Every structure is written in C-alpha cells, then in structure tokens.
Amino acid sequence: MISADRILDAMDRRGFDAFTGVPCSFLTAFIDQAIHRGGSRYVAATSEGEAVAIAAGAWLAGRKPVVLCQNSGLGNMVNPITSLLHPFRIPLLLGVTWRGEPGLKDEPQHELMGEITHGLLGLMRVPFRPFPTTVEAIEPALDAAEAALAQDRSFAFVIGHGSVAEGEAPPPVPALSAPRTAHVDLRRAGPQPTRFAVLETLLPVLPEAAAVVATTGKCGRELFTLADRPQHLYLVGSMGGASALGLGVALNTARPVVVLDGDGAALMKLGNMATIGARRPGNLLHIVLDNGVHDSTGGQATVSGSVDFAGVGGACGYARTWTVDDAAGLAEASQAALAGVGPALIHARIRPGSLARLGRPTIKPPEVARRFRRFVTEFK
C-alpha cells in the first residue's frame, strides 16, 4: 500500500500534468489528492469515454495526461481507446481499478469485468502492469509506463484493492455556479443550407489562430475537401467525442477552439455539454450542425427534431448560445461568439446531404494529430 502523495509526487516529477476520470472507491484518496493539488488540472468527466477524449485533447495541446477510472468504466472506454487513441496514436496513462478481482469478495456487477479486465486491456493492445504498492516499486512502474508512452502507445496501471492508502479528505471544492446564459435566435425560416454550404461560409470567418475539430463522418471529410490545414483535426471514430476532445484542447491553450459537431454525435455524448458548461473554457465555440439525421451512414433520423441544443447548452452553463438556420446566420453568430467570452454554442439547423463524390483525408490520422499538436503548442 502506498500513499496517494507518494505516487502523485513521482508523477509530478515526470511531468504528468493533466488528470481526468470518473471516481472509484478504490481511488478515493488518489482522486481527492489529484483534485486538491491539481485544482483545475483535474477534470471530472461524466463518463470514462468522455474522460479519454478530454485527455486526448489535453495531449493534443501538449500535456501529459492521466485518466483514472473504475474497471467497470473500461466498457465505456472501448470505443475511444480503439477508434481515437489507436488510429491517432495518442498515448495516455490510464489508472484502472480492479473491482471483482477473483478470490476477493465484491459485488455481483463486478464479477465478470473483474475476470476479464486484463484480457480486455490486452485485446485493445493496451500494455498494463499492476499499480505499484511499495515506494521502491514506483519508479520502475513509471519507467515501464513511460517506455510505452514514448512509443505512442497508451499504458494502464491496474489498481487492486488496498493499493492506495486512505488519506485525509481534502477541503471541499466549491460548487460551480453558472451565470445566466445569453441566447440569440437568428432563424429566418428560409431554405436550409447543406453542411458543405455552411462550412464554406464559416471557414473564412474563423481566425487563422483557431484550432478546428470536426466530428466523425462526412463533416471531417467535407472540411478536408474545402481546405486541409494544420489546425484541422478530422475525427475518424470516437463518435460523440469531438466536444470532449475540444474541451481538453481548449483548457490547455489560449487559442480559440472550434468544435464542429453533428446532432447524432452530440446526442450520443450529451454529458460532454455538462462538463463544458461546468468548466466554462472562454475560448471554446461548439457548433452543432443539425441536419436531423445520421447523414454519414445513409440518413437515418436522429431525435434532434425535438431537441433544443441551445437550450441544453444554456441549461448546462455555456456562456452564450445562438440558434441559426442559414449560412449567413452561422457566420454572424460565429463572429459574435469568437469576439466574446465562451463557452459558446451555436445550434445550426441545416438540411441533410453531401457532395455526390466526397473524398477522404489523404493525410493519415497519426500525422493529422501531430501536425495539429504542433499547431496548438506553438501558440504563445
């Protein structure tokens, strides 16, 4: 058993400087200390998948992030581990508890995951080892983790029961309270534009300094078709992860960060908006391009027709929101959003459809990620 302070001191010395996750009772002291010391460096996520995307964003902004979670949360992480960390070769350090360890008494819901935790990490090609439980074991364990990270691979510590000593509960963190959100409705009820048309109008309005994250599917492909620039990140998987990744970038850079989301993707990870509203990064603009369908997979309806994304953003604590339904409205709202303090959300109602012959990014995901990272980190 080791104290949370010991391991966090060792991590500090090695430059691990951004923490996120979802709690587990095995990790109480560790997470409490990470929150207490790190202050704003610990981002409380609504799901473990969101935490992976936030940490990936922090890495893309030059940080060395750690994700802490219960092994039941590994299920929530499978998609972003396999379709975000793996294709983009983004290396994260994971601390995963081992509830349901065979031979130890635990709750029924942990039994199966306890049996398959190591197998699941192995299947996802995430190397792992036990969390150090003596002071002497800390440095070799961190050496092993850093060796994997240096090869652009994520690495997991599996944290068994009683690995981390219980500590003093830190002083409570004051509850976050959001001021009232300002909303502007710019809808003109004319013919709705396509996603390509609004992207074409939006791009010239965005400042050169802005980093742009495009959701998976045709959105990223259309953005690439319009212009391929170092500040573009075209997600290829991790549906729903764009806004969480954008949050991770925005919290770690002074650059403006623009997230181009889809209605299907935004609905898949609606919890992301609560985290954005709570953290309130002033440099984040979240645009939901709502065509009412999963356009990229053939146009199957989403339930967005009855969803007011600007209302959700306001309820979550975004600073300002807009509703628009044409390209000029999106351009106007984007300029206003980028001129003021965020987080801002624009709900753009558009129509389905894309180009008849739409290409795919020819630049590969690992290079997209590294080019984007250079772009973000070179900003002073």
Ligand X SMILES: Cc1ncc(C[n+]2csc(CCOP(=O)(O)OP(=O)(O)O)c2C)c(N)n1
Query: CA 171 → CA 35, 222, 363, distances in Å?
Result: 10, 48, 48
Closest CB to ligand X among residues 63, 294: 294
Residue 218 Cβ vs ligand X, minimum distance, rounded to whole Å: 5
Q: Which two tokens stand for residue 124?
A: 């996802």
Q: What is the DSSP letter of 164?
A: B
CA separation for the pair 119, 214 (Å, rounded):
33
Phi first, then psi: give them for residue 26, nearest 5 degrees. Answer: -65, -20
Closest CB to ligand X among residues 272, 296: 296
User: Looking at 219, 233, 249, 330, which residue binds ligand X (CB under 6 A)?
Assistant: 219
Residue 77 Cβ vs ligand X, minimum distance, rounded to whole Å: 12
Closest CB to ligand X among residues 221, 255: 221
Closest CB to ligand X among residues 264, 365: 264
Site for ligand X in 280-309 (CB under 6 A): 291, 293-297, 302
Label residue 247 exposed, middle or buried (CB < 10 Å: 0-12, 13-18, 19+): buried
Close Cβ partners of 112 (under 8 Å, ≥ 6 residues apart): 100
Coil, strand, or helix at residue 64? coil
95's enclosing H/E stretch is strand 93-97
Closest CB to ligand X among residues 97, 304: 304
CA separation for the pair 267, 287 (Å, rounded):
13
Quick note: the x/- pattern for ligand X over 172-211, rule CB under 6 A, is ----------------------------------------
Contact 289, 258 (CB under 8 A): no
239 part of the interface to ligand X, by CB under 6 A? yes
Quick note: the x/- pattern for ligand X over 302-341, rule CB under 6 A, is x---------------------------------------
Task: Name the residue among 57, 23, 33 with its Cα closest to residue 276.
Answer: 57
Closest CB to ligand X among residues 262, 361: 262
215 part of the interface to ligand X, by CB under 6 A? yes
By the criterion CB under 6 A, which residues form the site for ligand X?
79, 215-219, 237, 239, 262-265, 291, 293-297, 302
